[in-house]
Amino acid sequence: MPKENKSPTMADVAREAGVALGTVSRVVNGEPVGKEFREKVNEAIRKLGYRYNPSGRALRTDRTNTVAVIIPNTINPFFSMLVYHINIALEKHNYKMMLCFTEYDRDREPEFIQLAQHNRVDGIIALTYHPSLVIPEGIPFVTIDRFFSSSVPCVSSDNFGGGYLAARKLKELGCTNVAFMRTGSAITNEPSKRRDGFVSACVEMGLPFEVICLEDSEPFEKFEEFLTRHLEHGRMSLDGLFVGTDSLAWKIIRILRKMNVRVPEDVQVIGFDGSRMFGEQEMIVSTIVQPVREIAETCVNTVLTRDFSNVPSLICLPVKYAYGGTTKE
Amino acid sequence: MPKENKSPTMADVAREAGVALGTVSRVVNGEPVGKEFREKVNEAIRKLGYRYNPSGRALRTDRTNTVAVIIPNTINPFFSMLVYHINIALEKHNYKMMLCFTEYDRDREPEFIQLAQHNRVDGIIALTYHPSLVIPEGIPFVTIDRFFSSSVPCVSSDNFGGGYLAARKLKELGCTNVAFMRTGSAITNEPSKRRDGFVSACVEMGLPFEVICLEDSEPFEKFEEFLTRHLEHGRMSLDGLFVGTDSLAWKIIRILRKMNVRVPEDVQVIGFDGSRMFGEQEMIVSTIVQPVREIAETCVNTVLTRDFSNVPSLICLPVKYAYGGTTKE
DNA sequence: TTGTATGCGTTATCAG
DNA sequence: CTGATAACGCATACAA
């Protein structure tokens, strides 16, 4: 009889079913067991409400069924959605998530990697910015939006294609003079390709364009200067903007409105990410939508791949354009 | 010599330091140990890069250093912020978070409680809606925004005070005819008091008011009807709205704008929560701000309280008003 | 104060 | 196919 007030163990189940401890373990793990025995064990499990103890299993197998997720925060809706879908995907696989917020502090990235390893996680999914981050070996490691080497799988959306699409869309909507704006170009990562795709399409279509990238250290006011510089007699010489992220697009639009420039009548703006207010249908701005859920699921499936040796090193997921009120319909 | 490619154990440290296993354990756990011994052990720990194995400790102590957080999702910015600050607070205490998304599916709430218990979590923080949810005994359980009984601590913001404040603010801003709007009144929880506080202040000030609450089952169009009903010759008879959440306020404002009613010129709107776009300074709507971080930290501190017998049963945190563009400044 | 030994719940090995 | 038993890493009661 199992002790009151304590969850039953395999030994309790074995006693109840009149079989050996090992047999219970085999049933629990789905290993081949004679039909009669299996039924007896399952009956006892049901009766006692038995569930295996993760700590016991982890101690024995050295697998914790936990994956660490390293990400700046959960405030940006894109990160928030990412974490959301990663957690759901992990749960589906009976895995737990260990959530680590770096707050964009590069130094915390290696610290969390260490912490995760100390906690014996079975894998790590990380969205990082440390310029010379070293990826540990011997543990499945998947990165988001940043390519390290062919031995570290990187999952991202088609950033080049997204930039390309944005340029074509602006042209299609009647723009004749466009610009790309972004911030934080300290490291070269997949999102950097948004610019390349944009430029590539502009050149291809013969669409005049400009590019302004702000380093992390540069003051935000430079964007304001840039925009004012294009203001002639109260009219913008630019009529289309592609902005690196929805978050930045939102800020830019606020500046434009303060300058009495109408969006989308005078200037059309396309962002990147696909952020939605309160998770509703409508986008916050017209944007290139990242397939967040697919990205999350791909990360999870990849990091849980047993044979990590022949996993693709760069997985690129398709994006699409979505109207969000800051372009002409 | 510890095996290559495997993290060192206490036995390795003991061997390295030339002391007994138990001594290492005592040092690691900060129990009194002779100075010389402690130094030898610490030296060995440093040298081998030892960290205790959480599974081993958990198995032995029956404490996992994990707290389950049960919440609908991470899409709503309020939930997102809550999870964010809970995770940070837990990490500070060297605890991990087990995140469970119910998706507002009442049936999943008891399921996750079970799952959490099977995972031997040390406590549960839950934001739930199941009308007859039964709180397990024998495990620290803290709820957010919903009072169950005096033995289950409930953390929430001052919802009554928030409603009261909203009414006073609308009056102060010149409103003469106001209304309260909310949705999802299936269960009575702390947020229900937003209405009570609002009504109370209106009565006190002699401010004419109306109330419209939609059941979960009722179609959203009823709000539209309600608003149209107050439209006379293109002018609203209402000039102030207090809406149950920022999310709903946002939807209401969209309806108003579609009706060619100007916000805040014709109608001023105050929401509840304090949601910010992209985590910036500016609020999405004028709102009653919940102290999310304090709520999160209070939950964590409470759930980790060793002596759960004399913990307060209802902890109410102060709110404040914040301008967000949908009221007159 | 320090050392020794046991058991937490599980899986895996080996003998039957 | 099944049963018995050792080992995983740690905390702790007990012995020295």
Ordered structural domains, chain A, with CATH: 10-52 (1.10.260.40), 66-157+293-317 (3.40.50.2300), 159-291 (3.40.50.2300)
The pLDDT of residue A5: 65
Residues 6+ apart with CB under 8 A from A144: A82, A125, A126, A127, A154, A155, A156, A295, A299
The pLDDT of residue A223: 95
Helix (H) or strand (E) holding B158: none
pLDDT tens by residue, B237-273: 999 999 999 999 999 999 999 999 999 999 999 999 9
Highest mean pLDDT among A160-164, A305-309, B75-79, B218-222 belongs to A160-164
B73 touches chain A (CB under 8 A): yes
pLDDT tens by residue, A52-78: 999 999 999 999 999 999 999 999 999
Nucleotides of C under 7 A from a protein CB: 1-5, 7-13
Q: What is the mean pLDDT of residues A197-207?
A: 98
A92 touches chain B (CB under 8 A): no
| Whether A61 CB is under 7 Å from strand C | yes
The model's confidence at residue A2, banded by pLDDT at 50, 70 and 90, is very low
Distances (CA, A) of B295 to A116, A251, A252, B142, B308: 27, 29, 33, 11, 18
The pLDDT of residue B3: 41
Q: What is the mean pLDDT of residues A151-155?
A: 96
CA A60 / C1′ C10 distance in Å: 6
What is the pTM assigned to this prediction? 0.95
Look at A279 and B76 and tell me if their CB atoms are within 8 Å: yes
| Whether A57 CB is under 7 Å from strand C | yes
Query: With 70 as the cut, is the pLDDT of residue B288 above it?
Result: yes
Pick from B263, B273, B252, B279: nearest CA to A246? B279
Task: Give the minimum alpha-carbon distance from B277 to chain A in angstroms, rounded to a whole number.
Answer: 8
Q: What is the mean pLDDT of residues B17-40?
A: 95
Query: With 50 as the cut, is the pLDDT of residue B125 above it?
Result: yes
The pLDDT of residue B5: 66
Residues 6+ apart with CB under 8 A from B217: none
Q: What is the mean pLDDT of residues A117-137?
A: 96
B176 touches chain A (CB under 8 A): no
CA A313 / C1′ C13 distance in Å: 38
A14 closest-nt by C1' vs CA: D3
Measure CA to C1' and name the residue nearest D2.
A23
Nearest Cβ partner of A120 from B55, B77, B117?
B55
Which spans in chain A are helix H?
Answer: 10-17, 21-28, 35-48, 54-61, 77-92, 108-118, 159-172, 193-205, 221-229, 246-258, 292-303
| Whether B26 CB is under 7 Å from strand D | yes
Query: With 90 as the cut, is the pLDDT of residue A226 above it?
Result: yes
- Give chain A positions within 8 Å (CB) of B99: 87, 97, 99
A57 closest-nt by C1' vs CA: C10
The pLDDT of residue B2: 39
Q: At what angle do helices B21-28 and B35-48 cross, to 10 degrees?
A: 90
B20 closest-nt by C1' vs CA: C3
Query: With 90 as the cut, is the pLDDT of residue B6 above it?
Result: no
The count of CB pairs under 8 A between chains A and B is 99
Task: Give the minimum alpha-carbon distance from B90 to chain A in angstroms, rounded to a whole number.
Answer: 11
The pLDDT of residue A58: 97
The pLDDT of residue A3: 42
Task: Give the minimum alpha-carbon distance from A39 to chain B in angstroms, rounded to a whole number.
Answer: 22
B257 touches chain A (CB under 8 A): no
Q: Tell me the average pLDDT of chain A.
A: 94
Query: With 80 as the cut, is the pLDDT of residue A1 above it?
Result: no
**How far apart, in whole angstroms, are the C-alpha atoms of residue B84 and residue B296?**
9
Q: What is the mean pLDDT of residues A243-263?
A: 95
Measure CA to C1' and name the residue nearest D13.
B22
Q: What is the mean pLDDT of residues B123-141?
A: 96
Distances (CA, A) of B9 to A111, A126, B48: 21, 27, 9
**How far apart, in whole angstroms, are the C-alpha atoms of residue A17 and residue A37?**
8
The pLDDT of residue B4: 52
The model's confidence at residue A216, banded by pLDDT at 50, 70 and 90, is confident
The model's confidence at residue B20, banded by pLDDT at 50, 70 and 90, is very high
Between B185 and B126, residue with greater pLDDT: B126
| Whole-number percent of chain A with pLDDT over 90 | 89
Query: With 70 as the cut, is the pLDDT of residue A110 above it?
Result: yes
The pLDDT of residue A6: 81
Q: What is the mean pLDDT of residues A270-293?
A: 95
The pLDDT of residue B235: 87
Look at B75 and A278 and tell me if their CB atoms are within 8 Å: yes
pLDDT tens by residue, B170-225: 999 999 999 999 998 678 999 999 999 999 999 999 999 999 999 888 898 999 99
Terminal-residue alpha carbon distance, chain B:
71
Query: With 70 as the cut, is the pLDDT of residue A100 above it?
Result: yes
